[in-house]
Structure 1
């Protein structure tokens, strides 16, 4: 019940059903979710830790603006991915990924163990075959494994920490109005395969270049496909 309350209220805040500045009435919410005040307070503490609400004396618990949210947290990423913010979030985090993942790829080219390199190569091969067969689930799982493995195998603890954010972002593609596999997928699968090849060959320069090219093309795709606002 605690998780249900967190998920429901978090999604409603992201969707604007509970707009910034709204005061959450504990009595009303307790009755709505059929939970005790203690369960409700614990759920609100989670949302407070995400920067989404704030208790204020003589006012109550107030909904905070998006600028205060922990937008890198997987929970918030998931909620935004199921909202009208989907394309905005994808663009914002792809822009951030462009500054981080090519660096991680360059580092991974020399930090990877043979096993790590082979796992990334296998994930890229799965993406190519899944693209050809139209297996969207296999493609997504391989995509997640591919990018998180590079970040975690970079030898940089800060970049490795970013892997959970990337996984949460990639999994929001199941909420997209388009299919996971699109007309852009074969070219993307090819770029993943070339990046994997560079990592196996320990070519740091090529790894950086292919990662940058891959993410730039993906960003261009989402900017092109984003609905007019």
Structure 2
């Protein structure tokens, strides 16, 4: 699942208000005034009303008579919603958010690799090969590398042929996208193509243990690269997200 920001006034309103809530501009429990949003965003009452309805469906807002529209507690947010994951990742992500994503990847991807080694089809292998070739062709193009990396890991989960596991791609994508944006944007990363190749070879050979081991190596390499870049950026006081990938 590739997520893209929605277009049009309604989509832009959802994006802007959603990002503000995720950033903490409006603390949980605070009352928000739709009329103010109309003036700030320069949109109609109808656009704001529909945007608030969408955000309410994601667990961010609730509207009650006499209380108005309030920000719900974080515990009520649909944190696995693809938009919420994207908004959290596209703002300056906290170390806690990055750690949570890494832990989920460490739970999901080894299992996905094990099942993929047992259930992959020729089409699955072709999808993984094409993604790996795109990674190699990307060279120093950070955006192209990010998209190719995402495609590889989506193909890996799809190769497990478990519909629920495949739906976890929204979390895997969020983790990969924010990590790749930081690491590849900083031009400081290890060559991950050989380890991706090892993973593909293991899946193609039906070697579940080797596939799990390759995933473990990938995750360790990803963690080391991210830690190195974060350390440099924290020391320099630079923005940890140099550029958002569309």
TM-score by length of 2: 0.81
- Tell me what 1:40 maps to: 48
| Deviations, residues 61-82 of structure 1 (Å, cap 9, x unaligned) | 1112333222221211121112
How far is the alpha carbon of 1:24 from its aligned partner?
1.0
Task: Choose from 16, 19, 34 the match for 2:27.
Answer: 19
- Tell me what 2:218 maps to: 214
Task: Choose from 118, 128, 131 the match for 1:110.
Answer: 118
- Tell me what 2:98 maps to: 90
Relative distance call for 1:57 and 1:219 in structure 2 (3 A) is farther
1:69 aligned onto 2:73: no
- The answer to whether the 8 A contact 1:105-1:204 is kept is yes
**Distance between the aligned counterparts of 1:36 and 1:172, measured in 2?**
33
**Distance between the aligned counterparts of 1:30 and 1:170, measured in 2?**
35
Q: Secondary structure of 2:152's partner?
A: helix
| Deviations, residues 46-101 of structure 1 (Å, cap 9, x unaligned) | 11111111113311111123332222212111211122325432321111111111
48-57 vs 94-103, greater mean Cα deviation = 48-57
- Tell me what 1:149 maps to: 155
Q: Secondary structure of 2:184's partner?
A: coil
216-225 vs 26-35, greater mean Cα deviation = 216-225
1:5 aligned onto 2:33: no
**Distance between the aligned counterparts of 1:19 and 1:179, measured in 2?**
33
- The answer to whether the 8 A contact 1:90-1:169 is kept is yes
- Tell me what 2:241 maps to: none
**Distance between the aligned counterparts of 2:216 and 2:71, measured in 1?**
38
- Tell me what 1:179 maps to: 184
| Deviations, residues 132-175 of structure 1 (Å, cap 9, x unaligned) | x3122221121011000111120111111112332344334575
**Distance between the aligned counterparts of 1:115 and 1:35, measured in 2?**
46
1:50 aligned onto 2:58: yes
- Tell me what 2:194 maps to: 190
- The answer to whether the 8 A contact 1:121-1:197 is kept is no
**Distance between the aligned counterparts of 1:90 and 1:198, measured in 2?**
28
Unaligned runs of 5+ in 2: 1-8, 236-246
Relative distance call for 1:174 and 1:201 in structure 2 (3 A) is closer
**Distance between the aligned counterparts of 2:30 and 2:180, measured in 1?**
30
TM-score by length of 1: 0.86
Q: Secondary structure of 1:102's partner?
A: helix
Relative distance call for 1:179 and 1:150 in structure 2 (3 A) is closer
- Tell me what 1:167 maps to: 173
